[in-house]
Amino acid sequence: MPPLIKGIEEGQIRSLARFISWVENEVPGYEQILAQLHFHSTPIVGITGPPGAGKSTLINALVGSLLNQNLRVAIVAVDPSSPFNKGALMGDRLRMSEHYLHPNLFIRSMASRGSLGGLAPKIFEVCDVLRAANFDYIIIETVGVGQSEVEIAALADTTVLVLVPEAGDDIQTIKSGVMEIADIFVLNKSDREGAAIFEKNLSSLAHHYASEDWENPVVKTVAPQQIGLDQLLKQINLHRQLTHKGEKKILLLTQKAMMLIKALRTKDISLPHLASELALVANNSDFNLYRFIEKYKLD
């Protein structure tokens, strides 16, 4: 077994960090290594929600609870990209400063690089690398800056939507987007005014979207005070028993395969190159975007 693969599967931090960088930068040969890895059934928990919902604080508290149980946890924090270097703007260590030196915790920030779904382009492969390292939980935090973020449903076994009482009537706008793909609703900062009414509205909405085997629970949390974390973890584990079964497993794998195929077919098309080409023709009076992209169509 090659040393790098051995290091990944043993969960060695250096090997993980090195190979994830290879994946992100598409270093030649990374796909062959991916094809040789053995993947475990590590639960992937996606945590999403609007800005200000307290996602990072909630994750920090949840991770603390898991580490206290001597579990190994990996966090992938998807951050907005710098418009200049396409790197992540927010620092993972800044947000997870309480735990980042813990030996059972691995944290990686990834830049969304303009992805409309709220996820980083290489996050599917990165999560598989982490699954090969046999963590107990993999937690994904999306950027939460208004994107539809439905891509997370193709990645996460369980999707947690974090909301706060101040969302108020905004729940109507959220409903048409990520509400349908959420598996668990978290009412964070539930000690604030209006929490009871908001919980009632969320419960009604959960009943509306209920399936035969699952109705989204509404878990009330106050992350800084560790309130509701045990209940949230209980619901994540309950939902974990339902995921990857039957039609849902095939649907999620189909979505994942489609995204990977799209990325593979467009790997030779770069945004800077497109921008350079568009800069030459975009101001022409007869410019037509659909005519422009015809040369990129596959036969």
Q: Is the dihedral of CA 178, 184, 189, 193 positive or negative?
A: positive
Phi, psi of 173 (to 5 degrees): -80, -35
Q: Give CA–CA dist 243/213, Å, rounded.
A: 11
Beta carbons within 10 angstroms of residue 24's beta carbon: 19
pLDDT for res 256: 74
For position 249, what pLDDT does the model report? 64
The structural domains of the chain, with segments of one domain joined by +, span: 1-38, 39-263, 271-296
Sequence-separated (6 or more) residues with CB below 8 Å from residue 93? 100, 107
pLDDT at 208: 79
Reported CATH class of domain 39-263: alpha beta
Q: What pLDDT does 136 receive? A: 96
Q: What is the pLDDT of residue 41?
A: 87
Calculate helix-pair angle for 246-265, 123-132, nearest 10 degrees: 120
Residue-level pLDDT at 121: 64
* Alpha helix stretches (DSSP H) within the chain: 3-9, 13-25, 30-36, 55-68, 92-95, 123-132, 152-155, 171-175, 195-208, 229-240, 246-265, 271-281, 289-292
**What pLDDT score was predicted for residue 25?**
86
271 within 8 A of 114, measured Cβ to Cβ? yes
Q: Is 101 exposed, middle or buried (0-12, 13-18, 19+ CB in 10 A)?
A: exposed
Q: What does the chain come to in residues?
A: 299
Which pLDDT tens digits describe the chain residue by residue (299 residues)? 689 999 999 989 999 999 999 998 889 999 899 989 999 989 999 998 887 888 888 999 999 999 999 999 999 988 655 444 444 444 444 455 577 788 999 998 887 654 444 466 688 889 999 999 989 999 998 766 444 456 677 788 898 999 988 765 556 655 555 677 788 999 999 998 888 888 888 888 888 778 788 899 999 999 999 999 999 999 999 998 875 555 666 776 787 788 778 777 877 787 788 889 999 999 999 888 888 888 887 65
**Edge-to-edge order in the sheet of strand 44-48:** 105-111, 73-79, 137-141, 44-48, 158-163, 184-187, 218-220
Q: What is the pLDDT of residue 126?
A: 92
Q: What is the per-residue pLDDT for 53?
A: 85
- Please report, for residues 17, 191, 194, 207, the alpha-carbon distance to residue 12 in angstroms, rounded to integers and kept in the order given: 9, 41, 46, 44
